[in-house]
Structure 1
Amino acid sequence: MRHDDAYHWPPELLELMIETVPRLIRSKEGVITFLRGAGVSDQLLAPHQALLASDPAKVNKFKIVRSVLGHLNEQGDAALGVRRALLKRVTEFENFSSCWPEDQLKAEGLVAQIRRVVNTKDSFTRMQHERDTERQDRLATQQAERKKAAARRERFSDLRNRLAALFKEENPYARGAGLEVLLNNLFKTDGVSIRDAFAIRDEEGVTHEQIDGVIEIDGKQYIVEVKWWGKPVDIEPMSRQLVRIMSRAEARGLFISASGFTKPAVAACRDFLTHRVVMLGELREVALLLEREEDIANWVREKARQATIERLPLALLGTDF
């Protein structure tokens, strides 16, 4: 197994530890006990323990520490816990009076150096961790965005197929109802708040109004009417829609027709702009939105702008017809 360099002591820290530990502990036996207390295995300590028992004069505290710490560093992440425990014991060392008198100042200075090195390394580790976390968050966000975009493409593909199927539908009522549902799903795809088709009835259950849908964009509500007739929408159905809009405070209107509008219907909407915002849209615009997978909310916003500023209730956007 290959060990990452991040799990090893850098050379300067290793040398500082080798110089420090023997000065913190007076006896050779005490050094072995200190190392064992940090979790160093008996397998690493056994040769030094045996030599200490047979010929103490040949044992050197610095050689013990160099040998043991060298092996620990070579073990990489397998000995990470032991190396951390050793660093903790050294950096938390406070009673230097237990050292040999000639080693006290030297040991205190070495411990201070180790603390600085460890603090610097910890700061680097924290920064690296923060960068890694930031990178992971960025990758997660990008992945979520890719999944969202893929889901959106799939929904648009489904809507295009459903629109193509509606062109083959011979029943006018089924065709119109299908277009209402398709448009509602298109608005939902781009996160537009919408209320599906509903009827307004009196206390006796008699229907007085049939609303194809209501959408809300930028805090403004639009009453939506959808028609798929064999001829252009004329003034009469347009007038009914304008009455619905006028009877609701601050409401706007969006009328979408698969067969276009007559000139009188367009003129009535233009005159109505003095009172409220009303926009006319054609099915070919919707088909183009589906083909280009564009945001329908932006389409509505531009329609509203053209109606308000240019006084154009019927502005065919993004089309070359």
Structure 2
Amino acid sequence: MSFPSDIKTCMRDCILKIFWPKDHIVQFFKDNGCTDADIRVLGDYKELHRYQIVDQMFDHLSSKPDGGLGPFRAMLLALTNWSFFDPYYFDRLRKLNRAEADRCITHLKQLQEIRDHKIKEKRKQRAVKEAAAQDAKQSITELKEKYISLIQGGTSPQRRGYELELILQELGRISGLEVTEPFRVNGEQIDGAIKFEGEHYLIEAKWQDKASANEPVYQFVGKIEGKFYGRGIFVSVNGFSENVVSSLVHGKAIKTIFIDGEDLMMVLEGLQSFSEMLDKKVKAAQTKGEIYVNAITGKSKIS
């Protein structure tokens, strides 16, 4: 983390408008965390111009592994609370101007206030994100428990399919995606839709006792074809037959990606987010023409 350049520039100006003797400038550095080794970097500083002393010290501190954060912060605190203006140099010799020094310190305080406000806002945003992440984690756990209970049975096939739709909708919301609930259009039942990376995807969710075969997949593809720049996500808890995968990609424009129960479990286990899973699936379809891949490894699920 580097110290803000605008604040360093203003601190430099403040030092030059508060101190006249070079020894006083160097003493200010010593009083605010600069070590003897730091001071030795200046060499015979009395041969330097006042501004060169400040510039060389600031450059030296900035080049250190920690960016000189300790001394810079100490100097910032000292300058924003500065109240002694040596009358010998300000009033008697008139080497320094009190009004200019006051303006410079006021400006430094303003920069510090702006920085503090930004830091507070970032902390608030981080706190909100952490709270949202915690809520999402709790929600994911609840969804996992619901999903496993559906696997264990005791629910009618129709109800199980409906609950799967709800799980998918909630995963989309947790990932911050725009979710459209199930709807009918021109007599077609659509299990829902999500907006991912600027594209809308229709969703078909099936919980059958075996891998999805050609007919329901082809019906869904037909729904996609009838939509403007249509794209689709077909979810089949028990996977897809090799035949349906190969027939869908052979010589055709790829508009649908496949998700199975393993993919959902990886998300519910927290191994990747729903958005990350979709990204891997879409990337595989766009770059390799593969619509049914493992979202963790990126490898095809069809041997």
Q: 2:262 aligns with which of 284, 299, 316?
A: 284
Q: 1:186 Cα shift? A: 0.4
Query: Counterparts in 2 of 1:106-255, with a 5 A limit?
Result: 113-170=97-154, 171-201=156-186, 208-255=187-234
Give the structure-1-normalised TM-score.
Answer: 0.60
Q: 1:225 Cα shift? A: 0.8
Q: 1:288 Cα shift? A: 0.4
Q: 1:187 Cα shift? A: 0.9
Identity of aligned residues (%): 20
> Are 1:258 and 2:258 an aligned pair?
no
CA distance in structure 1 between the aligned counterparts of 2:111 and 2:225, rounded to whole angstroms: 61
Alignment correspondent of 1:12: 85
Corresponding letter in the other structure for 2:238: S
> Are 1:301 and 2:301 an aligned pair?
no
Q: Give per-residue Cα distances to partners, 1:254-293, cap 9 Å, x unaligned.
A: 111111122222222223x623422111111111012125
What CA RMSD, in Å, does the superposition of the two structures yield over aligned residues? Answer: 3.0
Secondary structure of the corresponding residue to residue 248 of structure 1: coil
Alignment correspondent of 1:25: none
CA contact (8 A) 1:222 1:253 kept: yes
Secondary structure of the corresponding residue to residue 314 of structure 1: coil
Q: Give per-residue Cα distances to partners, 1:140-161, cap 9 Å, x unaligned.
A: 2322222222222222222222
CA distance in structure 2 between the aligned counterparts of 1:162 and 1:310, rounded to whole angstroms: 34
Alignment correspondent of 1:43: none
Structure 2: stretches of 5+ with no match in the other structure: 1-76
Secondary structure of the corresponding residue to residue 202 of structure 2: strand
Secondary structure of the corresponding residue to residue 194 of structure 1: strand
CA contact (8 A) 2:254 2:285 kept: no
Secondary structure of the corresponding residue to residue 98 of structure 2: helix
Alignment correspondent of 2:54: none
* Higher helix fraction (1 or 2): 1
Give the structure-2-normalised TM-score.
Answer: 0.64
CA contact (8 A) 1:245 1:253 kept: yes
Q: Give the structure with higher Rg (CA).
A: 1
Structure 1: stretches of 5+ with no match in the other structure: 21-105, 202-207
Change in 2 beyond 3 A, CA 1:306/1:6:
closer
Q: Give per-residue Cα distances to partners, 1:285-321, cap 9 Å, x unaligned.
A: 1110121252322322321232233222211221699
Corresponding letter in the other structure for 2:218: S
CA contact (8 A) 2:179 2:193 kept: yes
Q: Give per-residue Cα distances to partners, 1:71-121, cap 9 Å, x unaligned.
A: xxxxxxxxxxxxxxxxxxxxxxxxxxxxxxxxxxx7xx69x8432332232
